[in-house]
A and B are shown apart, each in its own frame.
Chain A
Amino acid sequence: MPEPLIKARNVSLEADGKPILKDISLDIFRNEIFGIMGPAGGGKTSFLRLVNHTFRGSNVKIEGRLHVLGEDVLSDEVNPTPLRRKVSMVFATPVVLPMSIFENLVYGLRIQGIRDKSRLREAAERGLKAAILWDEVRDRLDKPAQKLSGGQQQRLCIARAMALSPDVLLLDEPTSGLDPISTFRIEEALKELKKRHTIVLVSNNTKQIARVSDRCAFFLMGELIETGKTSQMFTVPREKKTDDYIAGRFG
């Protein structure tokens, strides 16, 4: 068994007296797509935000250990800036910045102080190719990014994250606002991406989790109900709650 890239042990999270995550333990390995499914408010997004150190809230209490790329991200000693470059995140609604496609792509590099034109171009191209967007926009990189279609915008967001060549890509319901064709394109891109990267995909679309993830977890009201191989989870779940959720009986 190889060492997991993300290793959570008994992680509990509380904000303002309300429990958000309860005693979560799971492993995510290199070059896999790890799906996290479950109804809204189950703590999926909060888990992602712990992983890249962007969780915000008042009166936050955290317990347990969470190692990401060998670093304990719950400790005060972690430097979030390089962590976020190695563990990039894409939100549910595509957020393109009001600048050109190119400037969107290299934003993450520019804030590191990188000015070298060829390095920026290289990173932009790498990101676009990873998100299978290169052929569509290669001739109009200087055009405003907000002119792109919704699906293209979301792929641009993935490309922007990939331009930083992260080890892990966190996707928070990346296709929730998109049409089936755009969704299909993004799923294709993800399958390509996992060859060299690790992807954590949060979705409440169980079919999507079944389609693209290798292993997955089911979060319900802050608890990790079950985790395992996707093929096994969707055919012979160990827990009744998982079975009910997958069958669409709630959530």
Chain B
Amino acid sequence: MTPKRAEHIALGLMVSGAFLALAILLFIIAVIMIKGLPHVTLRFLLDNPMDMGRAGGIFSTIVSTIYLLVVSLIIAIPLGVGTAIYLTEYTVEGKVTKIIRFGTECLAGVPSIILGLFGFILFVVKMGFSWCVLSGGISLAIMILPVIIRTSEEAIKAVPQSYRDVNEVLGGSKWQGVIRLVLPNAAPGILTGIILSVGRGIGETAVVIFTLGTSLRTPFSIFDSGRSMAVHFYILAQEGISMKNAYATAAVLVFSILIINIFSYYMMHRFVKGRT
């Protein structure tokens, strides 16, 4: 086989690999949208599920999902951004940073079912919160924490060192530099990370099903149980309750994830552009 021929074959393989992956993505989105979107009406979005989800809409699951995400972000953002600030501003590379980074990587690798088990035994059982928004929120926060740490760290690192120098020579403390210059300039990058983790949180099932529970009622207090959209979809599909509503729920899920990803991609681009 001549090198030229090998090159053609190889290139053909690479291209078909990339397009196969692309085709899979398009297939997933297309199927869910085509089969689901026609059933997504305003009433579907604003009605509560009835008869285990066989009839009615998904309003309470939308509320549960948003509630859950808000609680987990309230916990994960300060911890994640704080960790990133520590790693970039308040220390030099060394043993401690290595340990923290390794811990973060490992946490990112923990399977969601293990997180589900953990959240269940600690928050639901041992601490007696039972299945509720708080239990689910903390567990989900642990899941998205590594994402927020990583993206925030990169965003903060991208802020020019010279800004910190200017702050210093004008009589600012390190903390003032962080608050007035570093964080505002890293904000778009941090926000991108937050949006990405919202995208991950929306679709998460294994963690949520064992900590938030599966109650179809609309949660009010953080100690109320609920059912997220992803869990609702899983139950509808797995127990064969209603294919029509399963597709419609999936369409809402995938649609919001699509929007979130496109938005974060756009944010990231603006961020990168603003840098140059």
B176 at the interface (CB under 8 A from A): yes
A189 to chain B, nearest CB (A): 18
Q: Kindly identify, within residues 187 to 239 of chain A, every residue whose CB is under 8 Å from any CB belonging to chain B.
A: none
Using a CB-CB cutoff of 8 Å, which residues 127-171 of chain B contact chain A? 160, 162-163, 165-171
Contact B171 A97 (CB under 8 A): no
Determine the chain B residues whose CB is within 8 A of the CB of A82 once the complex forms: 171
Size category of the binding interface on chain B:
10 to 19
B181 interface residue (CB < 8 Å to A): yes
Asked if B170 and A95 make an inter-chain contact with CB atoms under 8 angstroms apart, the answer reads no
Q: Would you give the 0/1 interface string for B252-276, flagging 1 where the beta carbon is closer than 8 Å to chain A?
A: 0000000000000000000000100
Q: B171 to A108, Cβ gap below 8 A?
A: yes
The docked-state distance in angstroms from the alpha carbon of A88 to that of B173 is 15
A85 with B171, Cβ < 8 A, contacts A97-B181, A98-B185 known: yes
Q: Which residues of A contact B180 (CB under 8 A)?
A: 107, 110-111
Q: Which residue from chain A places its CB closest to the CB of B163 in the assembled complex?
A: A97
B170/A111 in contact, CB under 8 A: yes
A161: Cβ under 8 A from any B Cβ: yes
Task: Report whether B181 and A89 are in contact in the complex, using a CB–CB cutoff of 8 Å.
Answer: no
Q: Which residue of A lies closest to B172 (CB)?
A: A111
Q: Which of A138-168 contact B (CB under 8 A)?
A: 157, 160-161, 164
- The interface residues of chain B lying within 8 Å CB-to-CB of A245 are none
For chain B, residues 164 to 208, give those with C-beta under 8 angstroms from any C-beta of chain A: 165-173, 176, 180-181, 185
Interchain CB contact (< 8 A) of B165 among A95, A107, A111, A164? A95
Nearest A residue to B185, CB-CB: A98
- CB of B183, distance to nearest CB on chain A (Å): 13
Do B162 and A84 touch across chains, with their CB atoms under 8 A apart?
Answer: no
Q: Is the CB of A84 within 8 A of B163?
A: no
A164 near B170: Cβ-Cβ < 8 Å: yes
**A84 contacts B165, C-beta separation under 8 Å:** no
Given contacts A95-B162, A95-B163, contact A52 B169 (CB under 8 A): yes
> Does A10 reach chain B (CB closer than 8 Å)?
no
Give the complex CA separation of A146 and B236 in angstroms: 55
**A149, B275: Cα distance in complex, Å:** 17
Q: Given that A81-B173, A111-B180 are known contacts, is A95 also in contact with B166, CB under 8 Å in the complex?
A: yes
Query: How many Å lie between the Cα of A157 and that of B166 in the bound state?
Result: 9
Residue of B nearest to A94 (CB): B162
Closest to B275 in A: A98
> What residues on A are CB-neighbors of B165 within 8 Å?
54, 91, 95
* Number of cross-chain contacts by CB at 8 Å: 56
Against B, the Cβ 8 Å flags (1 = close, 0 = not) of A106-117 are 011011100000
Contact B169–A107 (Cβ < 8 Å)? no
A31 contacts the other chain (Cβ, under 8 Å)?
no
Instruction: Name the CB-closest residue of B to A49.
Output: B169
A227 to B80, CA, bound (A): 53
Q: Is the CB of A88 within 8 A of B169?
A: yes
Chain A residue nearest in CB terms to B160: A95
In the complex, the chain A residue whose C-beta lies closest to that of B177 is A111
Indicate if the CB atoms of A54 and B171 lie closer than 8 Å: no
The smallest C-beta distance from B242 to any residue of chain A, in angstroms, reads 52
Task: Check A93 for interface membership: any CB of B closer than 8 A.
Answer: yes
* Assembled-state Cα–Cα distance A108/B181 (Å): 12
Q: Cβ of B172: which chain A residues have Cβ within 8 Å of it?
A: 107-108, 111
* B162 adjacent to A91 (CB under 8 Å): yes
Quick one: closest A residue to B161, CB to CB?
A95
Q: In whole angstroms, what is the CA distance A95 to B166 when docked? A: 7
- Contact yes or no, B171 A81, CB < 8 A: yes
B162 touches A160 (CB 8 A): no
Closest beta carbon of chain B to A209's beta carbon, Å: 22
Q: Mark B residues whose CB is within 8 Å of A.
A: 160, 162-163, 165-173, 176, 180-181, 185, 274
Closest 3 CB pairs of A and B: A108-B170, A89-B169, A95-B162
Q: Name A residues whose Cβ lies closer than 8 Å to a Cβ of B.
A: 52, 54, 80-82, 84-85, 88-89, 91, 93, 95, 97-98, 107-108, 110-112, 157, 160-161, 164
Beyond A91-B166, A111-B170, list 14 extra A-B contacts (CB 8 Å).
A80-B171, A81-B173, A85-B171, A88-B169, A89-B169, A93-B162, A95-B165, A97-B163, A97-B166, A98-B185, A98-B274, A107-B166, A107-B170, A161-B170
